[in-house]
A and B are shown apart, each in its own frame.
Chain A
């Protein structure tokens, strides 16, 4: 049997504090489409960066056509016939297709760009693989699907026989996905090997010959695409540990606190990010939104906070229409916010804890009186939070960056629970915190819920979602596709809903 086109043996890659890939092994045969699936953060991208020479593995070997390779940079990988099409296109908009393709690899005659030779070679590649690329069009006039074909052509132009496509369908609409898959079939029939990274299982099963599943940084299994269902793959992706959902009394009331109706949001480039999203949160209710990251949850949160402008739909809080309110007005009216990335949206890292206490509450007593900041009152209230929420810090005067992640998060939660909010938007509230802090945060959320707080919970931790939520929605490609009862739900079921496998299996 011929040597596989690409083989990875025992790849381990560590970053400070985390192991991104652990003992990853996989083998890709020549001329096949090989999919690599896994949740966001499972380590797919790290692995592909290793293969493309963007960093070196700490352990393990990369073999191309049976020969061991030591890539020092992507140009070494390109020399070995590996090409990568990134999720975010790297094209110069004001150049033509031809100029983009030859950029950095220009055929010259007498020191000048040999346009004729370049055009001939581009036409040849385009015809050979049925890409249908027109060399003289400006890239800025092209649609997303065309741009992706230019990226593929650019890689082939440099002699790639092994193509890595990083989440190629993330930016495409369904018709464009079909075209892409047509192109991939052509490439395969011409002997090109394709490595296809995705977390969309239905697409993977349509296009791939074999599938390798990655979970928590390591390869779980490689299967033939024809021999598994989307549900099987979902189980492999999510793992099969069963959480034990909390049994507790419901505190859900009849009063609707937040009502979202038909909320629709477009990206600046016109792609639909939220599509007709509707749900209610009652007082005393935790509504969880499950979904693979990147399906619109972050944007939903930002829209509820007034950081993004929806193109349709309405949001009302406590019976008042807040669809067109500013962020500040929403926060004044009682929306608490625990952001997904606390360093980016939740803290001023170089500022003291008492100044961070003010953030998001700049118009509220006791920290602020009229136009003036009341430093003493703010310090006092920060000390209260430090006490009540067990924030481990010497004082309220230390800068926020000096605290550990868990203590930063406890400070944020204490801050957002202050001033009796009516709605708490909690995005990954226990991400990156230690186990002790996690339990404390869950307890605080439960207490607040019992006191009548409405909570929107976004999380990637299925155990947290199932254990905390009273109602669970699943978000897929910007839509709420299922409403589930967390009391009678396993993570496997939830996982297959999240990846769209359940939809596909039920038709």
Chain B
């Protein structure tokens, strides 16, 4: 199984190497040194050193992790759909709807601290699930592709959340120019992990490390257990790789579509929570956008595996954070966009290459083993495997 582990690592490393080569070409074409650019990015991204003689702090690390938490949650929401061959493109709409209702209703009640947070999370989870559930219902009752309906629900969700904000949840006061909702009371704030940083002797300036990272890790573990250890997860994965076989085995496909969309939406509802509960404490029109699409990228990078998606989320966070130092050095920070794009493309290609290598290796292994067992009497070679589906 060591071989298999190496193959698993080979794909992302190969992809990263290809992305570095292509980005280097782009840098050379614009007359910048690739090596010095990368070293600046690393020293800023790892050590927060904007200049060579600046002190090394954990500020960048914290910023990268804070970016990674919502990306990871978003990726989990996308990945559970992917595992049953459903494309939830609507994480964006789902977390916006969840965040505005969570912020609005959360500010309207007063509860003791843990209950208040739990109440807000419950609102977010239920709202996200309902919003995604619409797409699931449309698919099973009217045959509407979930790709189309979730994209449309993104627009509707964006408009509706603004409407809800302005009409019901907007805080009073003439200085509220951004139209933000009422600030949540401190009982609804999620504590940061800065005490932990301090205990480790790290300084992060005035940046808070989201405590919500803990929740994200728990959800990631839950995702893994649900898919790998439960009957429901088996039914879901079977439906994803072979819906006909799943149906013949007794999995009601329509029910599975709705349930999967509900779970995906429920996780999506959490995507805005690190920002809401850990930083802004209110919903406004400048609430972070685009987390849904980054989630798709991260799910692809991580091949729908929790550890892979954690690393993918951190990689994207690192690229975004370290891009900030490039402008200071007169290097166009768009180079990071090129890197992200090439990484995703080469990861997809590399995974396919590695998958074929795995298929060939597995077939060879079986044949070799059988040949040594009982000579040439091992039956005909395996049939061609055009349909050897890979779990996505």
A interface residues with partner B (beta carbon < 8 Å): 16-17, 305, 307, 326-332, 337, 339, 343-351, 355, 358-363, 368, 371-373, 375, 392-394, 398-399, 401-407, 432, 434, 436-437
Contact = CB atoms under 8 A, between A and B. Distances in A.
B390 interface: yes
Given A328-B252, A371-B231, A348 B242 contact: yes
A437 B373 CA distance: 17
Closest 10 CB pairs of A and B: A328-B250, A360-B249, A394-B369, A402-B366, A345-B248, A404-B379, A402-B362, A327-B250, A401-B388, A359-B249
Contacts of B230: 371-373
Contacts of B138: none
Contacts of B359: 399, 401
A350 B389 contact: yes
Contacts of A330: 250
Given A327-B250, A402-B366, A436 B231 contact: no
A204 to B, nearest CB: 34
B391 interface: yes
B370 A350 contact: no
Contact of A392 (B242, B248, B379): B379
Contacts of B370: 392-394
B248 A337 contact: yes
Contact of B391 (A16, A346, A350, A363): A350
Interface in B27-43: none
Nearest to B250: A328
B249 A373 contact: no
A349 B379 contact: no
A392 B378 contact: yes
Nearest to A361: B249
A401 B385 contact: yes
B241 interface: yes
14 contacts: A329-B250, A345-B245, A350-B391, A351-B237, A355-B234, A358-B234, A360-B248, A362-B234, A363-B231, A373-B228, A373-B234, A394-B366, A399-B359, A399-B388
B363 A401 contact: yes
B148 to A, nearest CB: 19
B76 to A, nearest CB: 20
Contacts of B235: 362
B112 interface: no
Contacts of A398: 362, 365-366
B5 interface: no
Interface in B352-392: 359, 362-363, 365-366, 369-370, 373-374, 378-385, 387-391
A335 to B, nearest CB: 10
A402 B365 contact: yes
B199 to A, nearest CB: 37
B365 A327 contact: no
Contact of B248 (A305, A350, A407, A434): A305
B229 interface: yes
A348 to B, nearest CB: 5
